[in-house]
Amino acid sequence: MMTETKRGRPRKFDEDQTLDKIMQIFWEHGYSATSLDQISAATGLNRPSLYGAFGSKKDMYLKIVGRFADLMQTHLRNAGSTVIGAKPKLKAIMNAAIDLYTGKTEMAGAPFGCLAISTLPAEAAQDSEFRAALEAVLARMDKGFCRLILAENENRITEIEAMETAQHLALLLHGLSIRARAGEPSKKLKQLATSAVDKIMN
Amino acid sequence: MMTETKRGRPRKFDEDQTLDKIMQIFWEHGYSATSLDQISAATGLNRPSLYGAFGSKKDMYLKIVGRFADLMQTHLRNAGSTVIGAKPKLKAIMNAAIDLYTGKTEMAGAPFGCLAISTLPAEAAQDSEFRAALEAVLARMDKGFCRLILAENENRITEIEAMETAQHLALLLHGLSIRARAGEPSKKLKQLATSAVDKIMN
DNA sequence: TTCTTTTTGTACTGACTCGCATATTTATAG
DNA sequence: CTATAAATATGCGAGTCAGTACAAAAAGAA
């Protein structure tokens, strides 16, 4: 099949750049407190264009959550790949996450914590789709940590033990994201993360 | 001074019961997604009465957060007082918190996680009062854990070390509350909490 | 040019939002 | 009974909300 040239009036916006702007707004204000007018103003698109390109407000938000998880995963994976050994990798990953949470990366410009952990739970109790999205994010982090632990398996632990440790690490990370959202400084969070990883990775 | 009998038309509602109903709604829906009409319907008070008794929506919410923290503190304190030793106390406290998060107490009727951790962060980035309230909740938990650890100080650790451990425990607890909000079952969360406490408490 | 396709801009809808102004009810104080 | 104090009930008002109907604009196809 050949790549047909597109018919119709061309878009005047870049989809990726627009999604990034939308992500920033949801990241800062959460789902319920964000209005489509706000998004319209920030992106330069009017509401019908937004609706045509990304669907309803809920569609947009859920898409953004997935996008955030993708971006975060590559960010953390890259950070882990710079060092050798399970513990150093985990510490590097924690530090990279804290940088993300405290606005010290190009991805985030302000200390807003984790988009998913900070904004999804507020909606999760009332709406099963949001709850499922939250659970998906959690499962994804668990698996990510678990894979890393098994790949660097120095003590020949079982898969079940690895999953338990992975979930311990995820618990820590989510707690750290809340503290970042509360405004605690990056330096303090990194100290906390490092000492916690030392205790958890026996 | 004598207790003067109150002038004017008497209230037809019980303040504590009303605050409990308001708490349930904010707990489930968060701040932004809750409307005063919802609260009015659930409490039987119309909006002017609510405003007269508890102030604005924001006033009400911040008051509820403080109330939640009070109730939770006594709930956890009671749970800790049933056993002896630092580790058993901490495990009992974690289990009691999980019961609270998963709706297994009289205080909570549904698995909504922690009111503060689940709903405050969504608002915290944009509003400094909410952010301050979140930080206050975190500080309060840190101090609570720290006091307990120092009171049961078996290994003569320093105050600084105790505070670090306390914050590790708080990180875990907040992570657990997120997972409860996502719908994970109480049993799994308790296993996770127990094994994590074992690793953190030397 | 003319037809089709897609995006854009304007404007609208019907519902919901919070806070308050006003009037009424119900109690105590004198 | 009259005055005062407090709570309640009705309802307004100015604004915001998400989504969409409709027409104009901008491209390719024929």
CB of A64 closer than 8 Å to CB of A22: yes
* C25 nearest neighbour residue (CA to C1'): B9
How high is the mean pLDDT of chain B?
95
Q: How far: A10 CA to D28 C1' (Å)? A: 10
pLDDT at B4: 60
- In chain C, which nucleotides are within 7 Å of a protein Cβ? 4-11, 16-22, 25-29
- In chain D, which nucleotides are within 7 Å of a protein Cβ? 4-11, 16-22, 25-29
Q: What average pLDDT score do residues B178-199 get?
A: 98
- Closest CB from B123, B167, B182 relative to A138: B182
Contacts of A182 in chain B (CB under 8 A): 121, 124, 131, 134-135, 138
- Nearest-CA distance from A158 to chain B in Å? 15
User: Token pair for residue B126?
Assistant: 């944009």
pLDDT at B2: 38
- Closest CB from B124, B175, B182 relative to A131: B182
Q: How far: B42 CA to D9 C1' (Å)? A: 17
Helix crossing, B115-124 with B57-80: angle to 10°? 140
User: Token pair for residue A26?
Assistant: 């949801």
Contacts of B28 in chain A (CB under 8 A): 125-126
Angle (CA) B168 B173 B174, round 5°: 100
Contacts of A168 in chain B (CB under 8 A): 172, 192, 195-196, 199
Q: Give CA–CA dist B133/A36, Å, rounded.
A: 28
pLDDT at A4: 58
Q: How far: A9 CA to D25 C1' (Å)? A: 8
Q: Which residues of chain A have pLDDT under 70?
A: 1-4
Q: Give CA–CA dist B23/B118, Å, rounded.
A: 13
Reported as half-sphere exposure (CB side, CA atoms, 13 A), residue A90 has a value of 31
Verdict on whether the full-model pTM lies above 0.75? yes
What is the per-residue pLDDT across B99-153, written as a single tens digit (0 to 9) for each? 999 999 989 888 999 999 999 999 999 999 999 999 999 999 999 999 999 999 8
Q: Give CA–CA dist A144/B4, Å, rounded.
A: 65
Query: Is the pLDDT at B82 greater than 70, yes or no?
Result: yes
Query: Is the pLDDT at B3 greater than 60, yes or no?
Result: no
Q: Which runs of consecutive H residues, i.e. helices, occur in chain B? A: 15-29, 36-43, 47-54, 57-80, 86-101, 115-124, 128-151, 159-181, 186-200
Give residue B56's identity as a one-letter amino acid code: S
What is the per-residue pLDDT across A56-106, written as a single tens digit (0 to 9) for each? 999 999 999 999 999 999 999 999 999 999 999 999 999 999 999 999 998
* Residues engaging strand D (CB under 7 angstroms): A 4-10, 34-38, 47-48, 51, 56-58; B 6-13, 45-49, 52-53
Q: Give CA–CA dist A35/A183, Å, rounded.
A: 24
Contacts of A113 in chain B (CB under 8 A): 121, 125
Q: Give CA–CA dist B95/B196, Å, rounded.
A: 12
Contacts of B178 in chain A (CB under 8 A): 117, 121, 134, 138, 174
- Closest CB from A124, A171, A184 relative to B181: A124
- Closest CB from B33, B121, B192 relative to A126: B33
- Nearest-CA distance from A7 to chain B in Å? 41
Residues 49-88 of B with CB within 7 A of strand C: 51, 56-58
Q: Give CA–CA dist A21/A15, Å, rounded.
A: 10
- Closest CB from A28, A173, A195 relative to B125: A28
Q: Give CA–CA dist A181/B62, Å, rounded.
A: 17
Asked if B32 CB < 7 A from strand C, the reply is: no
Binary contact (B178, A131; C-beta < 8 A): no
- Confidence band, pLDDT 50/70/90 cuts, at residue B33: very high
Query: Is the pLDDT at B199 greater than 80, yes or no?
Result: yes
What is the per-residue pLDDT across B133-148, written as a single tens digit (0 to 9) for each? 999 999 999 999 999 9
- Confidence band, pLDDT 50/70/90 cuts, at residue B155: confident
